[in-house]
Amino acid sequence: MLAKTTSGGVEGIRPYPVYVEVDLSAGLQAFDLVGLPEAAVRESRVRVRSALRNAGFEFPNRRTTVNLAPADVPKGGSRYDLPIAMGILAASGQVSKSGLSDSVFLAELSLDGELRPVRGVLPVAVLAQEMGAKRLFVAPGNRAEASVVSGVEVIGVRSLLSLVAILQGEEPEIMADECVRPVKDVPSPDMCDVVGQKEAKRAILVAAAGGHNLLLVGPPGCGKSMLARRIPGILPALTETEALTVGLIQSVSGKVDGGSGCRSRPFRAPHHTATIPALVGGGVPVMPGEVSLAHHGVLFLDELPEFKRGVLESLRQPVEDGSVTLARAQAHVTFPSEVMLVGAMNPCPCGWSGHPVRECSCGWEASQRYMSRVSGPLLDRMDIQFEVPSVPSAELYAAERPGSSEQLREQICAARARQFERAGGRARWNTAVPAEELLQSGDVSASAVRLLRRWVDRGGMSARAHARVLRVARSIADLADRSAVSEEDVFEALSYRALDEIHGASS
């Protein structure tokens, strides 16, 4: 007897169908599992046999062969327990085969036949929709996550017995803890909590308007981290497409908490002891790193010079290209990494270099060594480099604190709406626009071009920095609702590159 069920695997965030073929033949009882199964999949033979028996079903006293197709693709994880069990039940005649053809199965089995959640359910739900499947059977803990996808009935079942009853025509039982919980966006702290720092808020406004990378440098306690942690609150909500992509990344990494589809932009702030795999991805199986978990959001690196040099350098390509490809012997896995990179650092080890009152105990050479921990090429990729001053007492005791997150968000939404219109209805922000396109489109005034050329001729700017200054100037013009970039826009954008000259950044 032969039976087939359908499941799904995930490579990166890309799903692919896995067809589970079960054949029962004459001979001594045996359980053969083929199709490049990895250790967790091979162990499913033990889980499935015990789950069937403890759930009250018979395990066939025959030779059982299970093939996971396509057979040349490695299969990992415990996600194939349920489709294997359903294939065995159908092949042995304990379940009708007719109910399996339009369904997709994805869950781990406990030894008593209960269904347990697995990672990467959302990509498989998208796959089920594309394949035209009518039903997706998952564990109750995965139902909220998969229900984001429309067009497929996502059924969370507690046990094999419940699943078989549904296939025989009974209505699925909807338990209270199985229902889809409403998606709640996590509130972000308000920008008005930060005392003073009007110029720093302006720099952040420009950075957020075009999705530009930002570096904040200043003494301890001036508000660098507070400002950075409030950036998600001024960014526009994720679009439906962006939210789905973010949900796919969270799903394969197992970081979806009770549901997906949240419209708040991700904010990731890894500790400075993070390793390269933790930051850009890796491991076995290959998992997305912090730069991908922050996709369409903010990756905040506090105490930037404290990160290991190699870890910081590993970010250069993902931040520049918007994706990271992890090459392994058996596969090349690509994760998206379009992030707004935000860094914060002190100007020296003691933190008081350049302070108007407190004296630095490090000396000039120690300060230069500390700043040089951030390489020139990485610094060159920071579109806006802003030196955050200490807050004077007059601002500490000021009754009014202007610049709330809501006010800034309105300006950013208006600026991004102009970018959306220029891109022909595509979500392409200024940080991704080639400099040649800006110059050839006539959106830069002649006086602005002359100012840029003089700056380049001075030798203080790389070709990459030239392009980034143009993009920042375009964002400044968008905030002011100007169709063309003026000389004043370029001058403000150049003022945000002061560290290039001070610390000798190179291309």
- Of 191, 199, 197, nearest to 232 (Cα)? 191
CA dist 398 → 21, 201, 393, 395, 406 (Å): 72, 17, 9, 5, 20
Residue 248, pLDDT score: 94
- Of 240, 190, 195, 256, nearest to 221 (Cα)? 195
The DSSP H or E segment spanning 198 is helix 198-210
Whole-angstrom distance, CA of residue 431 vs CA of residue 438: 12
For the chain, which domains are there?
2-178 (3.30.230.10), 191-503 (3.40.50.300)
The 3-state DSSP class for residue 290 equals: helix
pLDDT less than 50: residues of the chain: 176-183, 258-259, 503-507
The amino acid that residue 274 corresponds to is: A
The DSSP H or E segment spanning 326 is strand 323-327
Q: Who's near 481: CB < 8 A, 6+ residues apart? A: 414, 418
CA 312-317-321 angle, to 5 degrees, is 140
DSSP 181: P
- Of 62, 61, 63, 113, nearest to 86 (Cα)? 113
CB 431: neighbour CB atoms within 10 A? 21
Specify the length of the chain in residues.
Answer: 507
Q: How much is the pTM?
A: 0.90
The pLDDT tens digits for 97-148 are: 988 989 999 999 999 999 999 999 999 999 999 999 999 999 999 999 999 8
